[in-house]
Chains A and B, each alone.
Chain A
Amino acid sequence: MKDRNKFFIKDLNLYYGTFRALINVNLNIVEKKVTAFIGPSGCGKSTLLRCLNRMNDLIEGVKIDGVVALDDTDIYGDIDVIKLRTKVGMVFQRPNPFPMSCYDNIAYGPRCQGIKDKATLDQLVEKSLKQAALWDEVKDRLNKSALGLSGGQQQRLCIARAVAMEPEVILMDEPTSALDPIATSKIEELMESLKEDYTIVIVTHSMQQAARISDNTAFFLSGEVVESDITSNIFTKPRDKRTEDYITGRFG
Protein backbone atom coordinates (compact mmCIF):
# COMPACT_ATOMS: atom_id res chain seq x y z
CA MET A 1 0.00 0.00 0.00
CA LYS A 2 1.32 3.44 -0.95
CA ASP A 3 2.32 5.68 1.97
CA ARG A 4 -0.02 8.58 2.63
CA ASN A 5 1.16 11.98 3.84
CA LYS A 6 -0.30 13.11 7.15
CA PHE A 7 1.32 16.52 7.04
CA PHE A 8 2.26 18.49 3.97
CA ILE A 9 4.56 21.44 4.64
CA LYS A 10 5.22 23.88 1.84
CA ASP A 11 7.45 26.96 1.70
CA LEU A 12 7.24 27.44 5.45
CA ASN A 13 9.05 30.36 6.98
CA LEU A 14 8.94 31.28 10.67
CA TYR A 15 10.25 34.41 12.31
CA TYR A 16 10.92 35.11 15.96
CA GLY A 17 10.71 38.86 15.60
CA THR A 18 13.23 39.63 12.87
CA PHE A 19 15.11 36.34 13.25
CA ARG A 20 14.20 33.84 10.54
CA ALA A 21 14.21 30.52 12.34
CA LEU A 22 12.72 28.37 9.57
CA ILE A 23 13.69 28.97 5.95
CA ASN A 24 11.57 27.69 3.06
CA VAL A 25 10.81 24.37 4.66
CA ASN A 26 9.24 21.79 2.36
CA LEU A 27 8.58 18.43 3.97
CA ASN A 28 6.03 15.62 4.05
CA ILE A 29 5.29 13.64 7.19
CA VAL A 30 4.12 10.14 6.33
CA GLU A 31 1.10 8.71 8.09
CA LYS A 32 1.67 6.03 10.74
CA LYS A 33 5.41 6.21 10.47
CA VAL A 34 8.02 7.62 12.83
CA THR A 35 9.73 10.69 11.40
CA ALA A 36 12.81 11.94 13.20
CA PHE A 37 14.11 15.51 13.06
CA ILE A 38 17.88 15.66 13.62
CA GLY A 39 20.40 18.46 13.51
CA PRO A 40 22.62 20.61 15.71
CA SER A 41 21.21 22.75 18.51
CA GLY A 42 19.29 25.81 17.37
CA CYS A 43 18.70 24.56 13.82
CA GLY A 44 14.89 24.74 13.94
CA LYS A 45 13.84 21.16 14.76
CA SER A 46 11.71 21.96 17.79
CA THR A 47 10.45 25.13 16.13
CA LEU A 48 9.06 23.08 13.24
CA LEU A 49 7.70 20.48 15.63
CA ARG A 50 5.75 23.18 17.45
CA CYS A 51 4.40 24.43 14.12
CA LEU A 52 2.60 21.13 13.67
CA ASN A 53 0.17 21.83 16.52
CA ARG A 54 0.46 25.61 16.57
CA MET A 55 2.23 25.69 19.92
CA ASN A 56 4.31 28.54 18.48
CA ASP A 57 1.14 30.66 18.65
CA LEU A 58 1.84 30.90 22.39
CA ILE A 59 5.19 32.61 21.77
CA GLU A 60 5.10 36.38 21.43
CA GLY A 61 6.43 37.87 18.22
CA VAL A 62 6.20 34.71 16.11
CA LYS A 63 5.24 35.16 12.46
CA ILE A 64 4.62 32.38 10.00
CA ASP A 65 4.12 32.19 6.27
CA GLY A 66 3.69 29.12 4.11
CA VAL A 67 1.47 26.10 4.39
CA VAL A 68 1.20 23.41 7.03
CA ALA A 69 -1.58 21.06 5.99
CA LEU A 70 -2.92 18.22 8.13
CA ASP A 71 -4.92 15.81 5.99
CA ASP A 72 -5.06 18.46 3.25
CA THR A 73 -6.41 21.15 5.62
CA ASP A 74 -4.21 24.19 6.26
CA ILE A 75 -3.89 24.33 10.06
CA TYR A 76 -3.06 28.04 9.91
CA GLY A 77 -6.38 28.72 8.23
CA ASP A 78 -9.67 29.16 9.98
CA ILE A 79 -9.68 26.14 12.28
CA ASP A 80 -10.34 25.29 15.93
CA VAL A 81 -6.88 25.26 17.51
CA ILE A 82 -8.06 23.33 20.59
CA LYS A 83 -9.41 20.58 18.35
CA LEU A 84 -6.12 20.64 16.44
CA ARG A 85 -4.18 20.06 19.65
CA THR A 86 -6.48 17.16 20.48
CA LYS A 87 -5.67 15.61 17.13
CA VAL A 88 -1.99 16.44 17.40
CA GLY A 89 -0.75 15.62 20.90
CA MET A 90 2.62 16.44 22.35
CA VAL A 91 5.12 14.89 24.76
CA PHE A 92 7.91 17.05 26.09
CA GLN A 93 11.52 16.56 27.08
CA ARG A 94 10.96 16.64 30.80
CA PRO A 95 8.12 14.42 32.01
CA ASN A 96 5.39 16.76 33.29
CA PRO A 97 2.64 14.78 35.03
CA PHE A 98 -0.02 16.87 36.69
CA PRO A 99 0.13 16.96 40.50
CA MET A 100 -2.73 14.51 40.82
CA SER A 101 -3.31 10.76 40.77
CA CYS A 102 -2.26 8.58 37.85
CA TYR A 103 -5.93 8.04 37.06
CA ASP A 104 -6.79 11.72 37.11
CA ASN A 105 -3.79 12.55 34.94
CA ILE A 106 -5.16 10.33 32.18
CA ALA A 107 -8.81 11.23 32.74
CA TYR A 108 -8.19 14.99 32.83
CA GLY A 109 -8.27 15.60 29.08
CA PRO A 110 -11.33 13.39 28.38
CA ARG A 111 -13.18 15.05 31.30
CA CYS A 112 -12.43 18.45 29.75
CA GLN A 113 -13.92 17.04 26.55
CA GLY A 114 -17.13 16.33 28.47
CA ILE A 115 -16.77 12.64 29.27
CA LYS A 116 -18.24 12.16 32.75
CA ASP A 117 -19.35 8.53 32.79
CA LYS A 118 -17.06 6.59 35.22
CA ALA A 119 -17.18 3.32 33.32
CA THR A 120 -16.17 5.08 30.12
CA LEU A 121 -13.35 6.89 31.88
CA ASP A 122 -12.17 3.67 33.55
CA GLN A 123 -12.00 1.96 30.17
CA LEU A 124 -10.22 4.91 28.58
CA VAL A 125 -7.66 5.11 31.40
CA GLU A 126 -6.92 1.39 31.21
CA LYS A 127 -6.67 1.40 27.41
CA SER A 128 -4.36 4.42 27.40
CA LEU A 129 -2.09 3.02 30.10
CA LYS A 130 -1.92 -0.30 28.25
CA GLN A 131 -1.03 1.49 25.04
CA ALA A 132 1.74 3.27 26.92
CA ALA A 133 2.97 -0.06 28.33
CA LEU A 134 2.41 1.25 31.86
CA TRP A 135 -0.77 -0.50 32.98
CA ASP A 136 0.88 -3.42 34.77
CA GLU A 137 3.12 -1.07 36.73
CA VAL A 138 0.42 1.32 37.94
CA LYS A 139 -2.85 -0.65 37.97
CA ASP A 140 -2.56 -1.19 41.70
CA ARG A 141 -1.74 2.45 42.44
CA LEU A 142 -4.05 4.37 40.11
CA ASN A 143 -5.24 6.65 42.88
CA LYS A 144 -1.77 7.46 44.10
CA SER A 145 0.10 10.57 42.99
CA ALA A 146 1.77 10.41 39.60
CA LEU A 147 4.66 12.36 41.09
CA GLY A 148 5.69 9.20 42.94
CA LEU A 149 6.51 7.40 39.70
CA SER A 150 10.03 7.09 38.32
CA GLY A 151 11.14 9.40 35.49
CA GLY A 152 10.61 6.75 32.85
CA GLN A 153 7.19 5.86 34.25
CA GLN A 154 6.22 9.53 34.36
CA GLN A 155 7.14 9.93 30.71
CA ARG A 156 5.06 6.89 29.76
CA LEU A 157 2.23 8.39 31.81
CA CYS A 158 2.56 11.56 29.72
CA ILE A 159 2.35 9.43 26.58
CA ALA A 160 -0.73 7.70 27.98
CA ARG A 161 -2.22 11.10 28.75
CA ALA A 162 -1.65 12.11 25.13
CA VAL A 163 -3.18 8.95 23.67
CA ALA A 164 -6.20 9.24 25.96
CA MET A 165 -7.29 12.14 23.76
CA GLU A 166 -7.31 9.72 20.81
CA PRO A 167 -5.04 11.85 18.68
CA GLU A 168 -3.92 11.07 15.18
CA VAL A 169 -0.43 12.44 15.62
CA ILE A 170 1.97 12.41 18.56
CA LEU A 171 4.78 14.95 18.61
CA MET A 172 7.73 14.14 20.84
CA ASP A 173 10.36 16.73 21.68
CA GLU A 174 13.45 14.82 22.89
CA PRO A 175 11.24 12.49 24.92
CA THR A 176 14.06 10.40 26.36
CA SER A 177 16.89 12.89 26.86
CA ALA A 178 16.12 13.13 30.61
CA LEU A 179 15.82 9.37 31.06
CA ASP A 180 18.24 6.54 31.86
CA PRO A 181 19.10 3.93 29.19
CA ILE A 182 16.57 1.35 30.39
CA ALA A 183 13.72 3.87 30.50
CA THR A 184 14.85 5.14 27.09
CA SER A 185 14.76 1.65 25.70
CA LYS A 186 11.21 1.12 27.00
CA ILE A 187 10.01 4.36 25.37
CA GLU A 188 11.69 3.41 22.08
CA GLU A 189 10.02 0.01 22.13
CA LEU A 190 6.74 1.72 22.85
CA MET A 191 7.08 3.90 19.76
CA GLU A 192 7.31 0.78 17.63
CA SER A 193 3.83 -0.28 18.78
CA LEU A 194 2.37 3.25 18.87
CA LYS A 195 3.11 3.86 15.21
CA GLU A 196 0.59 1.18 14.27
CA ASP A 197 -2.09 3.64 15.36
CA TYR A 198 -0.48 7.08 15.32
CA THR A 199 1.78 9.21 13.18
CA ILE A 200 4.84 10.07 15.28
CA VAL A 201 7.26 12.94 14.85
CA ILE A 202 10.25 13.01 17.15
CA VAL A 203 12.99 15.54 17.70
CA THR A 204 16.14 13.87 18.95
CA HIS A 205 19.74 14.78 19.54
CA SER A 206 20.72 11.14 19.47
CA MET A 207 21.62 10.00 15.98
CA GLN A 208 21.64 6.43 17.16
CA GLN A 209 18.09 6.81 18.45
CA ALA A 210 16.95 8.31 15.15
CA ALA A 211 18.65 5.47 13.29
CA ARG A 212 17.12 2.83 15.59
CA ILE A 213 13.51 3.89 15.74
CA SER A 214 12.55 6.11 12.83
CA ASP A 215 11.27 5.23 9.39
CA ASN A 216 12.08 8.62 7.90
CA THR A 217 14.61 11.25 8.93
CA ALA A 218 14.92 14.94 8.16
CA PHE A 219 18.24 16.70 8.73
CA PHE A 220 18.04 20.36 9.73
CA LEU A 221 20.74 22.97 9.55
CA SER A 222 20.39 26.70 10.25
CA GLY A 223 16.63 26.66 9.78
CA GLU A 224 16.62 24.65 6.57
CA VAL A 225 15.80 21.05 5.84
CA VAL A 226 19.00 19.97 4.13
CA GLU A 227 17.86 16.47 3.35
CA SER A 228 15.00 14.12 4.14
CA ASP A 229 14.71 10.51 3.15
CA ILE A 230 14.01 7.05 4.50
CA THR A 231 16.21 6.54 7.53
CA SER A 232 18.22 3.70 6.03
CA ASN A 233 19.31 5.97 3.17
CA ILE A 234 20.19 8.88 5.46
CA PHE A 235 22.38 6.66 7.61
CA THR A 236 24.03 4.56 4.90
CA LYS A 237 24.24 6.86 1.85
CA PRO A 238 23.20 10.46 2.50
CA ARG A 239 23.13 12.57 -0.63
CA ASP A 240 24.29 15.86 0.88
CA LYS A 241 27.81 16.28 2.24
CA ARG A 242 26.50 18.38 5.14
CA THR A 243 24.31 15.46 6.22
CA GLU A 244 27.25 13.06 5.88
CA ASP A 245 29.50 15.35 7.93
CA TYR A 246 26.89 15.78 10.67
CA ILE A 247 25.87 12.18 11.11
CA THR A 248 29.46 10.93 11.00
CA GLY A 249 30.26 13.38 13.74
CA ARG A 250 32.63 15.53 11.72
CA PHE A 251 30.73 18.62 12.74
CA GLY A 252 28.14 19.43 15.31
Chain B
Amino acid sequence: MIILVQRKVFENELTRLHNEILLMGSIVEDMLRDSIDSLSNRDKDLAVEVIKRDDMVDGKEIEIQELCVLIIATQQPVASDVRRVTSAFKIINNLERIGDHAVNIANVTKDLLDKKINLKEINEIKRMSEIVIELVKKCIDSYINLDIRQVEEILALEEEVDNAHHNLRRDLVQRMSCDANMIEQYSKFIFVSSHLERVGDHAINIFESVNYMVTGEYKDF
Protein backbone atom coordinates (compact mmCIF):
# COMPACT_ATOMS: atom_id res chain seq x y z
CA MET B 1 0.00 0.00 0.00
CA ILE B 2 1.37 3.37 -0.94
CA ILE B 3 0.82 6.13 1.60
CA LEU B 4 1.62 9.80 1.61
CA VAL B 5 4.11 10.70 4.28
CA GLN B 6 4.97 14.06 5.71
CA ARG B 7 8.52 14.92 6.44
CA LYS B 8 7.39 17.69 8.75
CA VAL B 9 10.75 18.78 10.02
CA PHE B 10 12.21 18.79 6.52
CA GLU B 11 9.24 20.67 5.03
CA ASN B 12 9.47 23.28 7.79
CA GLU B 13 13.16 23.78 7.14
CA LEU B 14 12.60 24.18 3.40
CA THR B 15 9.86 26.71 4.11
CA ARG B 16 12.16 28.55 6.49
CA LEU B 17 14.90 28.59 3.85
CA HIS B 18 12.49 29.98 1.27
CA ASN B 19 11.26 32.71 3.62
CA GLU B 20 14.75 33.73 4.69
CA ILE B 21 15.81 34.13 1.07
CA LEU B 22 12.69 36.22 0.38
CA LEU B 23 13.49 38.42 3.34
CA MET B 24 17.07 38.87 2.18
CA GLY B 25 15.83 39.69 -1.33
CA SER B 26 13.42 42.25 0.05
CA ILE B 27 16.11 43.97 2.14
CA VAL B 28 18.46 44.14 -0.83
CA GLU B 29 15.77 45.48 -3.19
CA ASP B 30 15.02 48.27 -0.71
CA MET B 31 18.72 49.03 -0.30
CA LEU B 32 19.09 49.44 -4.04
CA ARG B 33 16.06 51.69 -4.33
CA ASP B 34 17.10 53.78 -1.35
CA SER B 35 20.67 54.14 -2.57
CA ILE B 36 19.42 55.71 -5.82
CA ASP B 37 16.96 57.88 -3.88
CA SER B 38 19.77 59.04 -1.63
CA LEU B 39 21.80 60.04 -4.69
CA SER B 40 18.97 61.81 -6.52
CA ASN B 41 17.76 63.61 -3.36
CA ARG B 42 21.29 64.17 -2.02
CA ASP B 43 20.11 62.58 1.22
CA LYS B 44 23.12 61.86 3.44
CA ASP B 45 21.05 60.26 6.20
CA LEU B 46 19.46 57.82 3.78
CA ALA B 47 22.88 56.98 2.33
CA VAL B 48 24.22 56.24 5.83
CA GLU B 49 21.16 54.13 6.55
CA VAL B 50 21.76 52.07 3.40
CA ILE B 51 25.40 51.51 4.36
CA LYS B 52 24.39 50.33 7.84
CA ARG B 53 21.97 47.76 6.39
CA ASP B 54 24.87 45.95 4.73
CA ASP B 55 25.76 44.31 8.05
CA MET B 56 22.24 42.89 8.20
CA VAL B 57 22.59 41.49 4.68
CA ASP B 58 25.98 39.93 5.44
CA GLY B 59 24.55 38.40 8.62
CA LYS B 60 21.58 37.00 6.70
CA GLU B 61 23.88 35.40 4.14
CA ILE B 62 25.79 33.55 6.85
CA GLU B 63 22.58 32.52 8.61
CA ILE B 64 21.08 31.10 5.41
CA GLN B 65 24.32 29.34 4.49
CA GLU B 66 24.34 27.61 7.87
CA LEU B 67 20.72 26.59 7.41
CA CYS B 68 21.57 25.05 4.03
CA VAL B 69 24.48 23.10 5.51
CA LEU B 70 22.24 21.87 8.32
CA ILE B 71 19.57 20.70 5.87
CA ILE B 72 22.15 18.84 3.78
CA ALA B 73 23.74 17.21 6.82
CA THR B 74 20.55 16.16 8.56
CA GLN B 75 18.02 15.59 5.81
CA GLN B 76 20.12 14.32 2.87
CA PRO B 77 17.96 16.07 0.27
CA VAL B 78 17.81 14.68 -3.23
CA ALA B 79 16.28 15.60 -6.61
CA SER B 80 14.47 18.95 -6.61
CA ASP B 81 15.17 19.42 -2.91
CA VAL B 82 18.94 19.18 -3.32
CA ARG B 83 18.78 21.52 -6.33
CA ARG B 84 16.82 23.96 -4.22
CA VAL B 85 19.26 23.90 -1.32
CA THR B 86 22.40 24.10 -3.46
CA SER B 87 20.90 26.90 -5.59
CA ALA B 88 20.22 28.81 -2.39
CA PHE B 89 23.99 29.18 -1.88
CA LYS B 90 24.34 30.90 -5.25
CA ILE B 91 21.23 33.02 -4.86
CA ILE B 92 22.20 34.48 -1.49
CA ASN B 93 25.71 35.14 -2.71
CA ASN B 94 24.31 37.18 -5.59
CA LEU B 95 21.88 39.00 -3.31
CA GLU B 96 24.75 39.89 -1.01
CA ARG B 97 26.70 41.30 -3.95
CA ILE B 98 23.68 43.40 -4.97
CA GLY B 99 23.67 44.77 -1.44
CA ASP B 100 27.36 45.66 -1.81
CA HIS B 101 26.65 47.59 -5.00
CA ALA B 102 23.87 49.49 -3.25
CA VAL B 103 26.39 50.42 -0.55
CA ASN B 104 28.85 51.60 -3.20
CA ILE B 105 26.17 53.82 -4.72
CA ALA B 106 25.34 55.23 -1.26
CA ASN B 107 29.03 56.02 -0.80
CA VAL B 108 28.96 58.00 -4.05
CA THR B 109 26.07 60.01 -2.57
CA LYS B 110 28.28 60.90 0.40
CA ASP B 111 31.22 61.75 -1.87
CA LEU B 112 29.17 64.13 -4.00
CA LEU B 113 27.30 65.88 -1.19
CA ASP B 114 29.20 69.14 -1.49
CA LYS B 115 29.74 68.91 -5.26
CA LYS B 116 27.69 70.48 -8.02
CA ILE B 117 25.66 67.91 -9.95
CA ASN B 118 23.20 68.29 -12.86
CA LEU B 119 19.63 67.11 -12.96
CA LYS B 120 20.31 65.59 -16.39
CA GLU B 121 22.73 62.98 -15.00
CA ILE B 122 20.49 62.26 -12.01
CA ASN B 123 17.56 61.59 -14.30
CA GLU B 124 19.63 59.34 -16.54
CA ILE B 125 20.79 57.33 -13.53
CA LYS B 126 17.25 57.16 -12.19
CA ARG B 127 15.94 55.87 -15.52
CA MET B 128 18.62 53.19 -15.65
CA SER B 129 18.01 52.24 -12.03
CA GLU B 130 14.28 51.78 -12.70
CA ILE B 131 15.06 49.17 -15.34
CA VAL B 132 17.57 47.46 -13.05
CA ILE B 133 15.16 47.40 -10.12
CA GLU B 134 12.45 45.93 -12.35
CA LEU B 135 14.94 43.27 -13.53
CA VAL B 136 15.91 42.39 -9.95
CA LYS B 137 12.26 42.21 -8.94
CA LYS B 138 11.37 39.90 -11.84
CA CYS B 139 14.28 37.57 -11.05
CA ILE B 140 13.36 37.41 -7.37
CA ASP B 141 9.71 36.80 -8.36
CA SER B 142 10.85 33.91 -10.55
CA TYR B 143 12.41 32.40 -7.41
CA ILE B 144 9.28 33.04 -5.29
CA ASN B 145 7.03 31.33 -7.83
CA LEU B 146 9.59 28.87 -9.25
CA ASP B 147 8.47 30.18 -12.60
CA ILE B 148 10.92 30.63 -15.46
CA ARG B 149 8.38 31.53 -18.12
CA GLN B 150 9.29 35.23 -18.06
CA VAL B 151 12.71 34.45 -19.51
CA GLU B 152 12.16 36.60 -22.64
CA GLU B 153 11.11 39.69 -20.64
CA ILE B 154 14.03 39.19 -18.25
CA LEU B 155 16.60 38.89 -21.02
CA ALA B 156 15.11 41.95 -22.74
CA LEU B 157 15.49 43.96 -19.53
CA GLU B 158 19.08 42.80 -19.15
CA GLU B 159 19.84 43.99 -22.66
CA GLU B 160 18.24 47.36 -21.86
CA VAL B 161 20.43 47.66 -18.77
CA ASP B 162 23.58 46.87 -20.73
CA ASN B 163 22.66 49.35 -23.46
CA ALA B 164 21.80 52.05 -20.93
CA HIS B 165 25.16 51.58 -19.23
CA HIS B 166 27.04 51.63 -22.51
CA ASN B 167 25.29 54.81 -23.70
CA LEU B 168 25.55 56.63 -20.38
CA ARG B 169 29.26 55.84 -20.04
CA ARG B 170 29.91 57.07 -23.58
CA ASP B 171 27.93 60.28 -23.00
CA LEU B 172 29.57 61.01 -19.65
CA VAL B 173 33.05 60.52 -21.10
CA GLN B 174 32.16 62.99 -23.82
CA ARG B 175 30.87 65.48 -21.29
CA MET B 176 34.06 65.12 -19.27
CA SER B 177 36.07 66.28 -22.26
CA CYS B 178 33.93 69.42 -22.47
CA ASP B 179 33.80 70.35 -18.81
CA ALA B 180 36.91 69.79 -16.74
CA ASN B 181 35.20 71.09 -13.58
CA MET B 182 32.82 68.17 -13.56
CA ILE B 183 35.31 65.35 -14.14
CA GLU B 184 35.01 64.03 -10.61
CA GLN B 185 31.21 64.05 -10.69
CA TYR B 186 30.99 62.44 -14.12
CA SER B 187 33.49 59.76 -13.06
CA LYS B 188 31.37 58.95 -10.02
CA PHE B 189 28.27 58.68 -12.17
CA ILE B 190 30.09 56.29 -14.46
CA PHE B 191 30.85 54.19 -11.35
CA VAL B 192 27.17 54.27 -10.38
CA SER B 193 26.22 53.16 -13.87
CA SER B 194 28.77 50.31 -13.65
CA HIS B 195 27.39 49.25 -10.28
CA LEU B 196 23.87 49.19 -11.69
CA GLU B 197 25.04 47.16 -14.67
CA ARG B 198 26.69 44.64 -12.30
CA VAL B 199 23.47 44.45 -10.29
CA GLY B 200 21.79 43.41 -13.54
CA ASP B 201 24.36 40.63 -13.96
CA HIS B 202 23.72 39.37 -10.44
CA ALA B 203 19.98 39.37 -11.09
CA ILE B 204 20.55 37.17 -14.16
CA ASN B 205 22.72 34.84 -12.06
CA ILE B 206 19.77 34.48 -9.67
CA PHE B 207 17.50 33.64 -12.61
CA GLU B 208 20.00 31.02 -13.84
CA SER B 209 19.87 29.39 -10.39
CA VAL B 210 16.07 29.38 -10.51
CA ASN B 211 16.22 27.79 -13.96
CA TYR B 212 18.45 25.06 -12.55
CA MET B 213 16.08 24.52 -9.62
CA VAL B 214 13.12 24.10 -11.97
CA THR B 215 14.68 22.15 -14.86
CA GLY B 216 17.74 20.45 -13.38
CA GLU B 217 19.77 21.85 -16.26
CA TYR B 218 22.56 24.41 -16.05
CA LYS B 219 22.04 27.18 -18.59
CA ASP B 220 24.09 30.31 -19.07
CA PHE B 221 21.75 33.15 -19.99
Contact = CB atoms under 8 A, between A and B. Distances in A.
Q: Do A and B bind each other?
A: yes
Interface of A: 40, 207-208, 211, 221-222, 235-238, 243-244, 247-252
Interface stretch (B1-9, B40-48, B116-124): B1-9
Contacts of A247: 78-79
A248 B5 contact: no
Contacts of A251: 2-5
A250 B7 contact: yes
Contacts of B77: 248
Given A236-B83, A237-B83, A250 B5 contact: yes
Q: Which of A222, A236, A251 has the most CB of B within 10 A?
A: A236
A235 B5 contact: no
B80 interface: yes
Contact of B78 (A221, A222, A235, A252): A235
Q: Which of B2, B10, B82 has the most CB of A within 10 A?
A: B2
Contact of B80 (A208, A211, A221, A244): A244
Contacts of B3: 251-252
A211 B77 CA distance: 11
A208 B82 CA distance: 13
B76 interface: yes
B44 to A, nearest CB: 49
B64 to A, nearest CB: 21
Contacts of A237: 79-80, 83, 215-217
B216 A249 contact: no
Given A236-B216, A237-B216, A248 B2 contact: no
A24 B10 CA distance: 36
A244 B83 CA distance: 12
Contacts of A221: 2
Nearest to B216: A237
Considering the complex of A and B, which 9 residue pairs feature the smallest CB-CB distances, nearest first? A237-B216, A235-B78, A249-B7, A244-B79, A247-B78, A251-B4, A238-B79, A248-B81, A252-B5
Contact of A235 (B2, B4, B10, B79): B79
20 contacts: A40-B2, A207-B78, A222-B2, A235-B78, A235-B82, A236-B78, A236-B79, A237-B79, A237-B80, A237-B83, A238-B79, A247-B79, A248-B80, A250-B4, A250-B5, A251-B2, A251-B3, A251-B4, A251-B5, A252-B5
Nearest to B2: A251
Interface range for B: 10 to 19
Contacts of A250: 4-5, 7
Interface string B200-217: 000000000000000111
B214 to A, nearest CB: 10
A238 B3 CA distance: 20
Contact of B82 (A222, A236, A249, A252): A236
Nearest to A222: B2
Nearest to B82: A236
Contacts of B76: 207-208
B78 A211 contact: yes
A251 B83 CA distance: 19
Nearest to A243: B79
Nearest to B6: A250
Q: Which of A221, A238, A247, A248 has the most CB of B within 10 A?
A: A248
A34 B77 CA distance: 22
Contacts of A249: 5, 7, 10
Interface in B183-221: 215-217
Interface string B34-70: 0000000000000000000000000000000000000
Contacts of A40: 2
Nearest to A242: B2
Nearest to B217: A237
Contacts of B83: 236-237
Contacts of B10: 249
A236 B218 CA distance: 12
B131 to A, nearest CB: 34
